[in-house]
Amino acid sequence: MPNPKRKHSKSRTRTKRAHDALVAPQFYIDKDTGEPVRPHRINLKTGTYRGRKVIEVEEKEQK
C-alpha cells in the first residue's frame, strides 16, 4: 500500500470532513391529509403521487 510522503495539513483534513455533517430530512405538508410527507415519494396512506392516484390502497378495519 502506498503511504503519503507528507502529512496532510489540519485545514485540508477539516475541509474533507466538512461534508460529513448530518442533514435533517426535508418534509412538506400534504394538502389533503395535512400530514408531513417526504418529497418525491408515493403517499402509502392515500396511494397518490403529485395529486394523482397511483396505487390502490386497501382500507383496514378499525375496531
Residue 33 falls within a domain, yes or no? yes
Question: CB neighbours of 57 closer than 8 A, spacing ≥ 6?
Answer: 44, 45, 46, 47
pTM of the model: 0.50
Would you say residue 28 lies in a domain? yes
* Total domains, the chain: 1
Residues 19-43 have a mean pLDDT of 88
Retrieve residue 18's grid coordinates.
Answer: 466538512
Residue 47 in domain: yes
Backbone angles phi, psi at 22, to 5 degrees: -80, 140
Q: Which helix (H) or strand (E) holds 29?
A: strand 28-29
Name the pLDDT band for 57 (thresholds 50, 70, 90): confident
Using an 8 Å Cβ cutoff, are 55 and 42 in contact? yes
Query: 11-15, 16-20, 43-47: which range is least confident on average?
Result: 43-47
Of 55, 47, 54, 50, whose CA–CA distance to 31 is shortest?
50
pLDDT for position 63: 66
